[in-house]
Amino acid sequence: MSRDSNTEHMFLTRALEKILADKETKRSHNVQLRKACTTALVDLKSDDRDGAVRSDSGILPHPDMKPYVNADRFFLPFELACHSRQPRLVVTALDCLQKLMAYGHLIGNTPDPTQPSKLIIDRVIDMVCACFTGVQTDDGVQLQIIKGLLTAVTSTVCEVHERTLLQAVRTTYNIYVGSRNLINQTTAKATLTQMLSVIFQRMETQAIVEQQKQQLGTELKSDVERSPSPFTYHMKTATEVLPTVKVTDQSEEESGAVDHKDTSVTSDERLATVANPVSNDDMMRETARWLVEQVLSQSLAQLQAETASEDVETASQLSDGSNLDDLPDTSGSTYQMQGATLTSGGAIKFSHVLQKDAFLVFRSLCKLSMMPVVDSHTDPKSHEVRSKVLSLELLLTILQNAGPVFLTHDMFVCAIKQYLCVALSKNGVSPIPRVFELSLAIFLQLLGSFKVHLKMQIEVFFKEIFLNILDTGSSPQHKWMVLEALSRICADAQCVVDIYLNYDCDLSLANIFERLVNSLSRMSQGSVRHTQHHGESAESPVTEHMMQVKAVECLVSVLKCMVEWSKDIYVNPNTTGMMATTIEGTTQSSQNVAFLRASGTSEAHLAVDEGDSGMGGSGPSTPRTHRRMTSSAGSSSLEDLRESNPLLSAALDAPEEFAERKQRKDIIEQGIALFGKKPKKGVKFLQDKGVLGEDPGDVAKFFHTDSRLDPTQIGEYIGEKEKYCIDVMYAYTDMMDFSGMDFVAALRQFLSGFRLPGEAQKIDRLMEKFAGRYCETNLSTGLFASADTAYVLAYSIIMLTTDLHSVKVKTKMTKEQYIRMNRGINDSKDLPRDYLEKIYDEIAQSELKMKPTAARATAQRTGSMTTGHSEKQRRALYALEMEQMGETVKAMMEDVSRRQTKFTSATHIEHVRPMFSACWTPILASVSVNLKETSDDDLVRLCLDGFRCSIRIACVFGLELERNAFLQSISKFTLLTVSAGITEMKPKNIETIKTLIAIAHTDGNYLQTCWHDVLKVISQLELAQLIGTGMKPQFITGTAGSTAGGVSRSQRTDGEVHRSSSDLKRMAAIQESMGETSSQSVVVAVDRIFNGSVRLDADAIVDFVEWLCVVSVNELSSSQGPRMFSLQKIVEISYYNMPRIRLEWSRIWRVLGDHFNKVGCHANEEVAIFAVDSLRQLSMKFLERGELPNFRFQKDFLRPFEHIMKRNRSPTIRDMVVRCVAQMVHSQAANIKSGWKNIFSVFHLAASDHDEGIVELAFQTTATIFEQYFAATIDSFQDAVKCLSEFACNAAFPDTSMEAIRLIRHCAKHVADAPQMFKDYGAEENVSETDRVWVKGWFPVLFELSCVINRCKLDVRTRGLTVMFEVMKTYGNSFQQHWWRDLFRVVFRIFDNMKLPEQQQEAKAYRIIDYEYCVDTLMMCCRRQNG
């Protein structure tokens, strides 16, 4: 006998002998069992003697041998043993059957002889399941049942489907719930998890294999068409049957019946069946079959290997707890579902029985999770709670391990909508923490994988559960779990932007994103009170603090998501150099990024490099792996993506369109809010804005469709007597169809959209129109003689409702009184008595209720749970409130499950701009309040991260108001603003300083005017550092005897300053805290701001310099004494930025020059000296670079020297200016071009000074210039001669005056010797080349000499006159005729001066001599000219 036969017979023989040997078998009532065992043993021995042929390949039989156990001969003993209910017998029988199935000896794919419609395996599973009879079942039997069912479901040779599969899952489920043995519970739970994993993985694997078969068949067919050889002919024939290798036929799928016998037909047999008639070439046929099977088997083996590890991991992660009454029997073959793929008969069309199995199990678990839990069974250890928990855990496992088929197939999507979402609507408001927690986990999985299909369901879950729990007095435990869930949602950038895009920008949906941020902000500030719940007296301060921290964490995660979403347009000055990039210039980049996100290539979480952007700390973090592409490639790829994915094509977003929608929605919400206060004004506002039509029908439709309107105000509006309001009321009523409706039902529908006004006349108008509309739509009833009857009846029903259900009415109306009240209303006749009695009973049982406003409902919920109740009452009210909320949510879920909506996947960067604009106010309030009040390090870090992210977003998108608000707020928390004064600092203030400096370092290109706040803090930081070192104690404010901003001092005694001990201690504490500001990290961070200014763009550096100068002015004007910190930094950044291009540097110097002008004239000489010396150093540095011809930047750069010399009268400063300029001349004369003009201007101002040293140094330098660098000064020749003239006119130094006149004569010689120099240099308009010598050379010399003659004393004037006429006599022959006309005008000025009254006490004779000398000289010149 073969080894396989021995193995099979060994299992059977041992089991049968063990059963026979048991004492229970020998009892009289087990006669059939003994007989069956004996017969089976005899048959086994007979088989051994017959020597049946078996395979020698091993334990597992060969597929062709069909080694299943014959039920007639071998199965009956085990079935009888199981029915005996004796644990030992049952365990033995189940163990044997489990081993037979495990080793492949029991397949069970043959019909059951006792019931041909079922298979043997169905009978086996029924028998195994029947062994579990409840909680009293033996523990060993339970364990064997679990093992047997797991083996049957996961076996590769036994096929368990549909009803049998559900029965196996149900039994395992019941064992978990009913068993008292912890080991059995754990095993049952792990078994269920593994069963579900196998069921769904088989479905996914089958779909992949089927797809591979089709692909392979297509490839083989194409090969046949290309090369029709005998081999390819056989391949083609073989592949034609591949698509038919299914467990069920198409006709069977439609009818719902499954023939398990067909599943034994293997691919080999079908290939052989087709291939044999084609050819006798066995080699070709076997080769084709081998090729097909090899490809399929390799693919299947690889897929199974990948999923095996996931199954083990899933089973190992199970936790305890679940319960079940009974799994619903859903073994039917026809299922009605909204939106699923249906056959012609209305049944769901399953492509494979494995898909049907997965669907049945999933639906059963959903229904199981909806089973109610009564209040008395809310103990976590009760069967009901454990059942619900287990079903939710299994559903969560299915979603976590979902494959492509489950994620995309319409059938499963519809099942999630109709079953799972409805189940979540009940469990999502459960007071049981574990149930609520699992519901949140399932919702998060749905949000991550199915949000495209569940747009409406997500809105309901957020609006009715999440936000209600956050905003009302829910238990702290529930709030904490909601916050945990929100923290995961807020960490996903794609999810956050999608929520804003699909809900806040949808006119018909709630503002989920905005409301979520507002709720988190309120919670983070401790604005939401919590109810006492489940024995909690009240939430502890620790719990409240944890919730505040978690709420802030969620808000910061939202901000980080927005930073992550917009990072592609952020320009970091520390990585991009001085390149300027604007948002407008990134359109193409945004499109590329949009394509990448739409195709799934970008990460959804925030990942900001600490060294890059400074966005460190907690929060989402993923690798920043973004791929870039060219614009053409991006465009073509985007078009290809649109064509290949229709869903994505419809969802690609346009920022302008969504921004317009959001703006329109905001207008509508403003109008609705105004309508809630003043209905007429609200309608008028909406009509003026163009969002509501002028026609009454448009207003009526608006009242019908928008649920946000206040029902009370709608009733007031349509009840008004104005014609327009009446027209709206008529249109509103005419839009309702009461056809075939009962009168009371129609009245309920009519009143469902608004609340009746309190004024009787308004009610009268409404009831009159309702009666007319009801009679109009129910003409065939014949019950009412006219509309008057309906009108009176409607009014009486309103009165009856008030009478029966108002607490103010003590004596209630009876039925007879109501009937009497309505006598004769039907055209003087009575309505049928039974009809009126029916109305009375219906109203008595259910009053006419009108939906309260959302605000009123929320107030009622909050007030009922927070005031005037004991702990027990609050608990009961909370449970009741949650139950009501659950019913509301369930109804809404069932309603939206039938609605189809389009979900837009966000891709564009620009969506962040309106998102931040909508949420920045509550976020600022949250981080500001918490940073002000807390000392917790984690919360401080979160708040600072919120500031950094908010400022980054506002900067990137140019939101000036938001940026200024956040920066000004964070600067106040540094305690370093000038208005606050220097006080004791805490660690959080030090961290705030570091954060502000980091913001300036990373976002400097965007700060603009906010540089003022940053630089003020840095300025005060330097002061704090000085206080910390004890160098500036007088700046400490707030001590005894101090004034605002003043110095703290006590009274002086004998010249000494005495301070009280308390003041000294406080000053010591302040100095110690200020010492933290001198840490190396702070100092280095500040230095990076100024060193990094070289990397700011052209506009940013100008803003930086401008505000640094403003801060410097404030420092210098301080009442405690000037400080020069910012002035020093100005000099430093000037050095750092010197290499910038001239265009940028000229803009910078325009600001710096004005500042140096002011500082150089400062009243404090130390400040002015520093400014002048700094100017000198900068000038020397800049002059080293030289200047090209016709440029004038040197003139702008040196202008501050001229300004200081003109405005500052301090001899020290003036002397220093002259010395600085002299040094520049001596060291950089070769590089000076346009700067000569400023130099001569400075010397011109120095020439009139009364300080000999200043005048002497200036003149010596001027003389040096004329002697050595005359050619370089041609462009400034006029200024040079004017400078000499000023020296000559200084009466205090006659020697210098004479020497200056000599240099003027020397200038005339230069003009005569090198006239070509003046001709070639500086061509001017309207001046010929010949006249240039006169205009730029001769005329300045002669004119300045005339000025000397007119202004100076006699000796100098005489010398000047002599030189002037010597020049005329010497060089006059070279003058042009028209030059003489100009010259005579200059000379005649001298004579004009002689005619003036005597200005000086000089002898008249000397004036006469000068006059005669002038006349003689002029006559001589004239004769020479005429000669």
CA distance 189 to 1076: 58
Helices 1339-1351 & 1377-1394, crossing angle to 10 degrees? Answer: 10
Catalytic-role residue among 269, 759, 1184, 1412 = 759
By the 8 A CB rule, do 67 and 8 touch? yes
CA distance 1090 to 1104: 10
Phi, psi dihedral angles at 840 (to 5 degrees): -60, -45
Closest CA to 956 of 1015, 922, 911: 911
In terms of DSSP H, where are the helices of 806-936? 815-821, 833-845, 854-866, 871-896, 912-933
CA distance 1161 to 61: 108
CA distance 355 to 365: 16
CA distance 699 to 134: 63
Q: Which residue in this structure is represented by tokens 């949906």?
A: 509
Q: Which residue in this structure is represented by tokens 């400096």?
A: 997
CA distance 1172 to 1205: 10
By the 8 A CB rule, do 1243 and 1265 touch? no
Q: Which residue in this structure is represented by tokens 């073994």?
A: 331
CA distance 1364 to 1301: 10
Helix (H) or strand (E) holding 1122: none
Amino acid, res. 59: I
498's tokens: 């999608």
Closest CA to 474 of 878, 860, 874, 888: 878
Helix (H) or strand (E) holding 118: strand 115-119
Amino acid, res. 331: S
CA distance 390 to 365: 9
Closest CA to 976 of 959, 960, 994, 999: 994
Strands (E), 1313-1416: none
| 759 included as an active-site residue | yes
> Coil, strand, or helix at residue 1327?
coil
Closest CA to 1349 of 1335, 1359, 1339: 1359
What is each CA distance from 489 to 502, 605, 1392, in whole angstroms? 15, 10, 94
Count of Cβ atoms closer than 10 Å to residue 1316 Cβ: 10
By the 8 A CB rule, do 600 and 641 touch? no
Count of Cβ atoms closer than 10 Å to residue 65 Cβ: 12
**Helix/strand/coil percentages in the chain, nearest 5:** 70, 0, 30
* Burial class of 466 by CB neighbour count within 10 A (0 to 12, 13 to 18, 19+): buried
Burial string for 98-133 (b: 16+ CB within 10 Å, else e) reads bbbbbbbbbbbbbbbeeeeebbbbbbbbbbbbebbe
> Coil, strand, or helix at residue 1245?
helix
The contacts of residue 818 (CB under 8 Å, 6+ apart) are: 796, 800, 836, 839, 840
Count of Cβ atoms closer than 10 Å to residue 909 Cβ: 25
DSSP per position, 557-605:
HHHHHHHHHTGGG---TTTSTT----GGGGHHHHHHHHHHHHTT-S--S
* Burial class of 358 by CB neighbour count within 10 A (0 to 12, 13 to 18, 19+): buried
Q: Which residues are catalytic?
A: 759
